[in-house]
Amino acid sequence: MTQLVLASASPARLAVLRAAGVLPVVRVSGIDEDKIADELGPGAAPEKVVTVLAEAKAAEIVPGLAADGLTDVVVVGCDSMLLIDGELQGKPGSVDIARRRWAAMAGRSATLLTGHCVMRVIEGNIVRVASDHSATVVHFANPSTADLEAYLATGEPLQVAGAFTLDSLGGWFVEKIEGDPSSVIGIGLPLVRTLLERVGVSVSELWRTQSVL
């Protein structure tokens, strides 16, 4: 029976999949995202950057699957970044950077890009690959200074793309979105369903699969 392997440490992506009836095995990719983005060069299209990163995350965990007894799997890799003023923004990593980003995006709109890659892996061999990206417009509120500082102090925005979440505390500061909400959380179910179909796996097959690792 085919098992879905999520190549991500994101608890939000895992929660989306679990809520959608899939219990994936989690394997965390250790790629150097900044290095890969730098190698693509400053002229790379934002959509290409997030998609290539998703592909790299998925590919990086494949060599170890067979040793874990995972011989019939689909690996899903994702990467999200916020596109605002023509620049991609990933995880801020510090309060100061997150504060500056919120100063730039508060009361405005930006596009959350999420690259997705699905790899069909049999006996350790990649037999089919499908990848694409989703784009969702996010309209941000203009939080008060007190609310923003309280949000920054939680640490939540420091380790998420664009310094905000939709499904947790950051949701208070999102006015609306135009597009797929699950992709803003980090993994777009409609797009993943399409990519699964391209590699020959139906969503209903995965509903019946239970993680044991």
**CA dist., res. 164 & res. 80, Å (int):** 12
**CA dist., res. 180 & res. 43, Å (int):** 27
The catalytic position among 32, 34, 72, 79 is: 79
Quick check: is 72 catalytic?
no
Token code pair at residue 44: 């790379």
State how beta strands 3-6 and 25-26 pair.
Answer: parallel
DSSP one-letter code for 166? S
**CA dist., res. 97 & res. 159, Å (int):** 11
Cβ-contact 159, 87 below 8 angstroms:
no
At what angle are helices 33-40 and 46-61 packed, to 10 degrees?
A: 130
**CA dist., res. 83 & res. 103, Å (int):** 15
Q: Alpha helix (H) ranges present in 32-188?
A: 33-40, 46-61, 95-105, 145-154, 181-185
The catalytic site residues sit at 79
